Amino acid sequence: MATTGIHSPGRAKIDADTLRTDRWWLQPLGVFLALTAFVVYSAWRVFSGKYYYSAPYISLFYSPCLSTTCVEGTEPGGPISWWMLSPSLLIAWIPLTFRFSCYYYRKAYFRSFWLSPPACAVAEPHSAYSGERKLPLILNNLHRYALYLALILNVVLTLDAVLAFKTPGGKWGYLGLGTLILTANAVALWLYTLSCHSCRNITAGRITHFSKHPLRYKAWTFVSKINEHHMLYAWISLCTVVLADFYVYLLASGRISDLVFFSA
């Protein structure tokens, strides 16, 4: 039997790695399956390089579409001409890095994938532990840079949602199911991004005298309020991302046609 951790000399001699009687494994298992499914799905979509545009909708994995190989109608459709792989790869690393270094997702993968710890008061299976003190995990400290990029991307995705109010022919005044999905996705992404812990630090978390910075304090108060639900927004936006992309996939691959509520 191990002689470290809870089995170290001097501590109460108890063989069990945990004495918890509830189904503590359920949550890490659920998170593991959900995140794995997401990674598999997005890898398929990102690498495929196909079925990402169906006017007026563009899949968020491909927006902005930066290579000249992008399909007709996508924006800006350049300027990168030497890129031969899926244009998604030029931007998909941004949300990937953002979510990977997110404080909530860190908790999620440390628990569910790395079992460090699998659940509270359940012994982890590793003999040594150094936390986030070494490469590569120490880079998580640069989460704020991922936030800056994600904020820029959010502006683009919001524009995409606005453009989804145009008819496939380009006239303003259109409302399809896709318009609603893209809008909902943009809203979810803003909530997720603005409730970020780094955003909280930037608004005013890093200062000591709130009273000297009333505007920043106001912003901090707002961010703090939504920050309490950061985990919820992380999951909601993950779902809307998949939904929005999959809807565009279904349209672009001709499997369904858009449900149109209104068209000018």
Partner 1 sequence: MTYKAKFRVWRGDDESGDLQNYEVDVNEGEVVLDIVHRLQATQAPDLAVRWNCKAGKCGSCSAEVNGKPRLMCMTRMNTFTEDEVITITPMRTFPVIRDLVTDVSYNYTKARMVPAFAPPADLEPGDYRMAQVDVERSQEFRKCIECFMCNNVCHAVRDHEENKTTFSGPRFLMRIAELDMHPLDTVDRRKVAVDDHGLGYCNITKCCTEVCPEHIHITDNALIPLKERVADKRYDPIFSIASLFSRSKDTRTPAPETPKG
Which positions touch partner 1 (CB under 8 A)?
Answer: 4-6, 8-14, 16, 18-22, 103, 106-107, 110-111, 116-117, 120-124, 126, 128-133, 137-138, 141-144, 197-198, 200-201, 205-212, 217, 227-228
> Which stretches within 118-213 are classed as H helix?
143-163, 177-194, 197-200
- Only one of the segments 67-75, 192-200, 218-226, 250-258 lies at the binding site for ligand FES (rule: CB under 6 A); that segment is 192-200
Q: How far is the CB of 29 from partner 1 (least distance, A)?
A: 16
Work out whether 58 is an interface residue with ligand FES (CB under 6 A).
no
| Between 63 and 112, CB nearer to partner 1 | 112
Residue 143 interacts with ligand FES (CB under 6 A)? yes
Phi-psi region of 131 (alpha: psi -120 to 50; beta: other; left: phi over 0): left
Q: Which does 102 bind (CB under 5 to 8 A by kind): partner 1, ligand FES, none?
A: ligand FES
24, 104, 165, 217: residue in contact with ligand FES (rule CB under 6 A) = 104
Q: What is the distance between the alpha carbons of residues 39 and 33, in angstroms, rounded to a whole number?
A: 10
| CA 129 and chain centroid, separation | 27
Residues composing the chain? 264
3-state DSSP assignment of residue 5: helix
Closest approach of Cβ 235 to partner 1, in Å? 16
Partner from partner 1, ligand FES, none binding residue 196, C-beta < 5-8 Å depending on class: ligand FES
38 binds ligand FES per the rule CB under 6 A: no
3-state helix, strand, coil in the chain (%, to 5): 55, 10, 35
State how far Cα 68 lies from the chain centre: 27
**One residue of 194, 230, 236, 244 binding ligand FES per CB under 6 A:** 230
148 near ligand FES, judged by CB under 6 A = no
Q: Which of 31, 196, 204, 236 binds ligand FES (CB under 6 A)?
A: 196
Pairwise CA distance, residues 52 & 58, whole Å: 6
Other C-beta atoms lying within 10 Å of the C-beta of residue 209 = 8
CA 132/CA 255 separation, integer angstroms: 45
Binding at 23: pick from ligand FES, partner 1, none (beta carbon under 5-8 Å per type):
none
Give the dihedral sign, CA 257/58/78/264: positive
Packing angle of the helix pair 143-163, 93-101 (nearest 10 deg): 130
Query: How many helices and strands, by DSSP H and E, does the chain display?
Result: 8, 6
Is there binding between residue 102 and ligand FES (CB under 6 A)? yes
Mark the segment that binds ligand FES (CB under 6 A) among 35-43, 96-104, 124-132, 156-164: 96-104
Residues binding ligand FES (CB under 6 A): 102-104, 143, 147, 196-198, 230
